[in-house]
């Protein structure tokens, strides 16, 4: 009976991959660049992936672009800064990042910048669990054969897990982006799994790990958002699960080449320049400039792209609303932006990323990257001396290792005010459970670096209906301003870094359309699931 069921499951729903979809320019006959002699000034607030993406498209088409970045480093959640450790300069990132096959906009930018050589493949994903044997998971073949392959290779899963979980298949197999968003944003993904009677083993080993690395509280994550993640990273095509990592630090891999290219296009990148509010013309409702923390920018801009993280955007708009309390027209439109959209947006819990230099190395069977969904507060462990060149050189020279521990939803377990000196001792009991070898062989901590953040957008249930699109504020009469970022809503499946890059391009396209310059095409994940046959 099980054999018959497996044959039915494998063949009845076997399908070809769903091709990505082009969003082509709506103005294909317009010129590629601004007319010679015409100047258009654009202010981009935020120097992360969204801001850099918008700047790239606009600067290439003749715009005069200024980026204002609050911090002393560029890149947002991809930032990378030099740090003196062990009498050597190391470039330390925000944390580990993976780049997936369906990141079409970023792949396009990589090709344009000529930086493909700075990436390498990351194959199978290694997991450890408290109540299951370790898993090595990779997707191979079209859906659902990829799932059946995972089950057949798994030391924990059984075919009956998939069969018992068949109630969940329609929402994935017949995935419909718009329908799913309307139907499932009001429940969590965990509640969805209970409704669909997903087998516990299948949920724990396949679904729960994906939730654990979203930087959100797994218990509150929207079912609609997670089902989109599943399409993007797993089901869309046979290669959806394939990913790459950088083989050098992210300043060398991405940010340096990107900013160098923008500077050649005369983009003015202002670091450590915090925008505290925006300027609005009280008659036209045009957003035309910014007030900065250290000065009043007297420049007048034709367009503004708000590409900061969600917490910063809320702060800027709240400050702006306070300033225009005596201007009814401005106050009304800003109140709409704040109360009906930004007021509902939330920031996910705080998190810490600790990179440790040891005097010894783990055994050769330890994977480069290990996901640890059952070992909170540690969600992921990455061996950087096996990933990036500068750490590899140091490790080969010293015999040591550089290992990074990602601790999401930190304050669910420890005080947010824990000092950097306390972090290692706080996570030591969990590290012992993950890699007892570190303690059995008396690894010595030579140095460490801790990044602490509370800047990632929340994707808990119920927020999708309030999440603004790139052009939402312009549609409610706040003119000349567009949004971009990984927290901004899109009309197609997108997530994380690719959403930031895509919304940056969308914001640029809105400006290009208004100025009658040909828009840039976007290649995006299909809104429909594989379907039958």
pLDDT tens digits, residue range 200-245? 998 999 899 989 899 999 999 999 999 999 999 988 877 888 899 9
pLDDT-derived band of residue 396, with 50, 70 and 90 as boundaries?
Answer: very high
Nearest to 381 by CA among 92, 134, 211, 128: 128
Report pLDDT digits (tens) over 108-142: 999 999 999 999 999 899 999 999 999 998 877 66
Residue ranges covered by each domain of the chain: 40-77+251-344+467-524, 81-121+348-453
Report pLDDT digits (tens) over 336-370: 999 999 999 999 999 999 999 999 999 999 999 99
Mean pLDDT of 49-77: 97
* Domain 81-121+348-453, CATH: 3.90.660.10
Residue 222 sits at φ, ψ, to 5 deg, of -60, 135
Check: CB of residue 39 under 8 Å from CB of residue 65: no
pLDDT-derived band of residue 144, with 50, 70 and 90 as boundaries?
Answer: low
Q: What pLDDT was estimated at residue 16?
A: 53
Q: What pLDDT was estimated at residue 3?
A: 35
Nearest to 135 by CA among 149, 145, 119: 149
Between CA 183 and CA 185 the distance in angstroms is 6
Residue 98 clears pLDDT 70, i.e. is over it: yes
The domain 40-77+251-344+467-524 is placed in CATH, from the list 3.50.50.60, 3.20.20.70, 1.10.10.10, 3.60.20.10, at 3.50.50.60
Residue 158 clears pLDDT 90, i.e. is over it: no
What distances in angstroms separate CA 202 from CA 132, 154, 156, 206, 279, one per listed residue? Answer: 11, 11, 9, 6, 52
Q: What pLDDT was estimated at residue 18?
A: 79
What percentage of the chain carries pLDDT values higher than 90? Answer: 85
- Is 305 annotated to bind a ligand? Reply is no
Residue 24 sits at φ, ψ, to 5 deg, of -85, 160
Between CA 174 and CA 531 the distance in angstroms is 5
pLDDT-derived band of residue 10, with 50, 70 and 90 as boundaries?
Answer: very low
Nearest to 59 by CA among 428, 440, 505, 418: 505
pLDDT-derived band of residue 4, with 50, 70 and 90 as boundaries?
Answer: very low
Strands 522-524 and 21-23: antiparallel
Residue 88 clears pLDDT 90, i.e. is over it: yes
Q: Which residue has the tokens 């998190």?
A: 351
Of the listed ranges 153-167, 378-392, 483-497, the one predicted with least confidence: 153-167
Burial of 156 (0-12, 13-18, 19+ CB in 10 A): middle
Q: What pLDDT was estimated at residue 373?
A: 95
**Whether the predicted model's global pTM rises above the 0.85 cut:** yes
Q: What pLDDT was estimated at residue 273?
A: 97
Check: CB of residue 181 under 8 Å from CB of residue 489: no
Check: CB of residue 287 under 8 Å from CB of residue 278: yes
């Amino acid at each position: 009976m099980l054999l018959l069921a497996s044959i039915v499951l494998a063949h009845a729903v076997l399908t070809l991959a769903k091709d990505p979809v082009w969003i082509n320019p709506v103005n294909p006959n317009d010129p590629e660049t601004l007319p010679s002699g015409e100047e258009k000034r654009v202010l981009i607030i935020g120097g992360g992936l969204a801001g850099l993406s918008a700047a790239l498209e606009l600067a290439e088409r003749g715009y005069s672009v200024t980026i204002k970045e609050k911090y002393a480093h560029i890149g947002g959640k991809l930032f990378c800064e030099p740090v003196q450790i062990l009498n050597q300069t190391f470039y330390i990132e925000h944390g580990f990042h993976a780049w997936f096959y369906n990141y079409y906009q970023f792949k396009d930018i990589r090709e344009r910048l000529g930086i493909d050589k700075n990436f390498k493949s990351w194959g199978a994903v290694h997991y450890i669990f408290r109540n299951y044997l370790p898993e090595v998971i990779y997707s191979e073949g079209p859906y659902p054969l990829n799932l059946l392959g995972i089950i057949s290779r798994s030391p924990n899963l059984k075919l009956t897990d998939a069969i018992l979980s068949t109630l969940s298949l329609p929402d994935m197999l017949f995935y419909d982006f718009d329908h799913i968003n309307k139907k499932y944003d009001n429940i969590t993904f965990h509640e969805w799994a209970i409704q669909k009677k997903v087998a516990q083993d299948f949920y724990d080993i396949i679904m729960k790990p994906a939730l654990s690395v979203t930087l959100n509280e797994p218990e509150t994550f929207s079912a609609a958002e997670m089902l989109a993640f599943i399409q993007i990273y797993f089901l869309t095509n046979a290669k959806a699960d394939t990913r790459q990592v950088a083989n050098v630090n992210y300043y060398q891999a991405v940010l340096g080449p990107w900013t160098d290219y923008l500077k050649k296009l005369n983009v003015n990148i202002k670091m450590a320049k915090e925008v505290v509010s925006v300027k609005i013309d009280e008659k036209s409702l045009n957003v035309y400039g910014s007030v900065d923390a250290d000065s009043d920018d007297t420049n007048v801009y034709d367009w503004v792209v708000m590409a900061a993280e969600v917490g910063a955007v809320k702060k800027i708009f709240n400050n702006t609303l306070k300033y225009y309390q005596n201007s009814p027209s401005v106050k009304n439109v800003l109140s709409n932006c704040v109360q009906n959209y930004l007021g509902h947006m939330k920031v996910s819990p705080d998190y810490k990323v600790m990179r440790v230099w040891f005097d010894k190395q783990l055994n050769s069977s330890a994977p480069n990257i290990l996901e640890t969904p059952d070992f909170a507060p540690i969600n992921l462990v990455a061996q950087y001396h096996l990933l990036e060149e500068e750490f590899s050189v140091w490790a080969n020279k010293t015999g040591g290792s550089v290992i990074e521990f990602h601790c999401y939803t930190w304050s669910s377990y420890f005080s947010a005010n824990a000092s950097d000196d306390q972090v290692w001792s706080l996570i030591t009991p969990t590290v012992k459970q993950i890699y007892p070898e570190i303690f059995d062989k008396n690894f010595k901590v030579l140095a460490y670096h801790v990044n602490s953040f509370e800047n990632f957008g929340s994707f808990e249930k119920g927020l999708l209906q309030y999440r603004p699109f790139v052009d939402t504020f312009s549609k409610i009469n706040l003119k000349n301003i567009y949004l971009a970022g990984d927290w901004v809503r899109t009309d197609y499946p997108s997530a994380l870094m690719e959403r930031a890059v895509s919304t940056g391009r969308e914001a640029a396209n809105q400006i290009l359309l208004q100025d009658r310059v040909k828009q840039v095409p976007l290649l995006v994940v299909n809104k429909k699931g594989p379907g039958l046959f």
